[in-house]
Copies of this chain bind each other. A is one copy, B any other.
Amino acid sequence: MNPIIHELFQKSRLLSKELNQALKKHDLFAAQWTVIYCIFQHGEMTLTQIWKYLNVEAPTITRTVNRLEQMGWLETREGKDRREKNVRLTERAIVELAEISQTIIQFEDNALKNLTEEEEKLLMNLLKKI
């Protein structure tokens, strides 16, 4: 049994646990933040664009977007193609984004504090090879 994959699973679990903890004060979970940030970067998107970009299955995004909409972070409207659902950030989301970004940066700095810039690049490249 190769320990690398086990280690990768462990770190992934650990980091998402810590990230959830850090995001608690904004009343958000890690996966929810991922969706919000994705839409922030791309502007208005359809559900399909979101799940294809984030590399998850469609039902995952249906659920998360519904939850975020009912929490007031997202608003949706029908697209030109009436099958599509367009999603964008609410005013409130845009306002709070700056603060949340600070939390995220702090979390990332802490999570990667034992890695040099060089090591970060190296790790990124190795992960991409998997």
Contact = CB atoms under 8 A, between A and B. Distances in A.
B124 A3 contact: yes
A1 B9 CA distance: 21
A3 B104 CA distance: 12
B123 A15 contact: no
B11 A108 contact: no
Contact of A7 (B9, B13, B111, B128): B128
A119 interface: yes
For chain A, what secondary structure do more than half of its interface residues adopt (helix, strand, loop), or is it mixed? helix
Nearest to A34: B6
A115 B128 contact: no
Interface of A: 1-16, 19, 34, 37, 55-56, 101, 104-105, 108, 111-112, 114-115, 119-120, 122-124, 126-130
11 contacts: A4-B120, A4-B124, A4-B127, A5-B19, A12-B12, A13-B55, A15-B130, A114-B130, A115-B130, A122-B126, A123-B127
Given A1-B37, A122-B126, 18 more contacts: A1-B104, A1-B108, A2-B112, A4-B120, A4-B123, A4-B127, A5-B19, A5-B111, A7-B127, A7-B128, A8-B12, A9-B15, A9-B16, A10-B55, A15-B130, A111-B130, A119-B129, A123-B126
